Structure 1
Amino acid sequence: MKTVVLTTLPLFGFYAGLSQPIPATTGRTLLITSVRTGNTDIFAVDPVSGTSINLTNAPQSEERYPAWSPDGKMIVFTSNRGDGKTFDLYIANADGSRAQALTHLPAGSVAYWPCFTADGQYIYFNEGNSSQIYRIRPNGKDMKAMAQGRDGNISPDGKQIVYTQQGTNGFGVWVMNADGSNRKQIIPNESQIGGIAPVWSHDGKMIAFSGQAGDYAEIFVCNADGSDLKQITHLKKISSSPAFSPDNQYLTFRVTEEAYWRDAQKREKTYQEKEADKRPVWLVKADGTDAQLLEVLHYHCAMDGSRAEWKPLAKK
């Protein structure tokens, strides 16, 4: 029988410093990668109360990069539970039950950042070793390599992928058709820090990403064509992995003191140490106001680049 860990933490910080309460349209459950049990597992967390449910409870493996299905009834994530070295894609019910492998990638492959199309018909995901973007159906069928690119994220209508690729001065933000055609760089400013992780808003009108600002990385938002670019954080740290709330009014993001992923040895050491206060979750309004640390997620998050993904709201 699968054990579920349920923990309630004190109510701190979620509303503190905001000019008005967060509306119900933002949702109340975040999907995160946590090391609160000493293992790297997927948790569903109420960011107000801190109530957390361990959805994977897999002490012998590493679970990372979770995402919700559009109806909030399923989750998809990556895990090395097969052989300890290959990160395949898995799908499970929203409570973590009935987990099953979707992919059977070559040994040593790393699937990461899966995301559903809005109609739930496909899951797009990235493979880190080959910088290849794939798609697969939620039943594990029809897997297909779609295009070269890094950190790809499919648009809600399934027609475009926002991704990163190497440019003249670093990694830039690009958009292409879902079949890999019509590639276009939409943000001329490139980052040598990396960790750009572009993501679509839920209406497909905006893109958020991590961009270099001097010696730091900050969160930026722009229109889908790259226009109206705005820097919405000014923390002078390494801010990354943004995710829009269901109403597109807020974003969660992760914050570190350094871009540890730039050094393979440092990255591996950081993963192994599992220090839980090194990459907490922050919240900011989409207009750049009221950036704040989510205190209930201050000391529990894993160091991987997983987004703190908001659970979709039930459709009326």
Structure 2
Amino acid sequence: MPERDFARWRACADAALSRALPDADRPPHRLHAAMRHAVLLGGKRMRPMLVYASGELLGATPASLDAPAAAVELIHAYSLVHDDLPCMDDDALRRGQPTVHVAFDEATAVLAGDALQARAYELLADAPVSDTTRVALLRVLAGAAGAAGMCGGQALDLDATGSGHAMSVQALKRLHALKTGALIRAAVRMGALCGDADPARLDALDRFADAMGLAFQVRDDILDIESDSATLGKTAGKDQAQAKATFPALIGMVASRCLLSDLAATMDAALSEFGERASALAALGRLAIERDR
């Protein structure tokens, strides 16, 4: 059952993250406490689970997957710390807890995000895989996090927010392919690289991950309208308040739900060649579409 895999993978990810982070009783205490606050106080662990799911699908050893699973979550956590800052989205709530700059201060939040990013690459540099695979993992994660990935998407988002200029649906898809999709694609690809990943399999998994990344963001846009802060664990209604470009704003709620259905079909088609062996990945794809937070 995929649910059993999810529970096992979450436990593996949480253990790997706890090991990777410095203890709060070590100096500099405030920085270390902020790093642990950013990472260990909840989260869906979707990206680590994608690493484990794609890795196990392609025969990777469990020991080889902990480092990339923890690394991708550290990059995700750092991005959230910086995204919540007053100079970005200025949010006070994340995962049902005060954001790092609220719980500590802005300077500590910036440093915590920087340190989490650096720690992610340290983990990959020490991963128990071949030198060739280690370099490939570093390249994939760095590419997903940089200007051609997550940071580039965030820059496009900042440029578009409150600008008053209408964004096309295609431009919005590109924005989120970078901001959200790049790290999801990296998670799937890193797991595959730790296993028996030939070009054809990587291409199929990339198509799955691209569709899942966009679906994840479309669902996020819908939840921002339909859900509440207590359920989401973050401030609901922020997109509309900040005049962000979202799929419901551009194409409406009905068309957004239709887009989700199309993306679900794309994910299923991409995984079809793997058959039942990809059931866990398929279930994660459905979770991205059906989640309530």
TM-score under structure 2 length normalisation: 0.30
More helix by share: 2
More strand by share: 1
TM-score under structure 1 length normalisation: 0.28
- Indicate the structure whose relative CO is greater, using CA pairs within 8 Å and at least 6 residues apart: 2
